[in-house]
Amino acid sequence: MAAQGRKNVHGKAGVRFKAGYTKSKHENKLRTLATDLVKFERVTVTSGMVKELKSLTDHLITLGKRGDLHARRQAAAVVRGARSEDNSALDKLFGELAKRYESRKGGYTRALKAGFRRGDNAQLVIVEFVK
């Protein structure tokens, strides 16, 4: 039976079922991975992030292919560092990557299994852009 009292604080009847990994942390990690994928065109992640990362990155490429101001602002809301002077990921997305995939109608990324991580034996996957 749960004790009455303050929630999410340490002490008497303190933290009992607080989630350690929140939705905001998950979304921030996804945004950072998508930015790294746009910058470096290849990133290694665990198997749990692959589906969402591919979906988000494919959406960003579609925005880059549209190329208008609204699409640029929507992409800037996701890509890291887009509001600073060094917006290299956003420029690369709307310049180089949009031109590369202008004739392709989807499927801009691929996932290749890369074995297991040494520390916790997690399945690693390489996500990269299709040439």
Q: Summarize pLDDT for 45-89 with one digit per residue, the tens.
A: 999 999 999 999 999 999 999 999 999 999 999 999 877 777 789
Confirm whether 98 is domain-assigned: yes
Establish if 88 belongs to a structural domain.
yes
Residue 35 domain flag: no
The CATH number given to whatever domain includes residue 56 is 3.90.1030.10
The amino acid that residue 116 corresponds to is F
Is the residue at 9 inside a domain? no
Residue 43 confidence class, pLDDT cut points 50, 70, 90? very high
Question: What is the pLDDT at residue 7?
Answer: 58
User: Is residue 63 included in any domain, yes or no?
Assistant: yes
| Domains in the chain, number | 1
Report which secondary-structure segment, H or E, holds 124. Answer: strand 123-129
66 part of a folded domain: yes
57, part of any domain: yes
Which structural domain, as residue segments, surrounds residue 87? Answer: 41-129
Amino acid 22: pLDDT: 85
Q: Global pTM?
A: 0.82
**Within a domain: 16:** no
For residues 32 and 27, give the distance between their C-alpha atoms in angstroms, rounded to a whole number: 9
Give me the pLDDT at residue 3, please.
56
- State how far the Cα of 39 lies from the Cα of 67, in Å rounded to an integer: 18
User: What's the residue count for the chain?
Assistant: 131
- For residue 118, the model assigns a pLDDT of 94
Asked if pLDDT for residue 19 goes beyond 90, the answer is no
Lowest-pLDDT range of 6-10, 27-31, 125-129 = 6-10
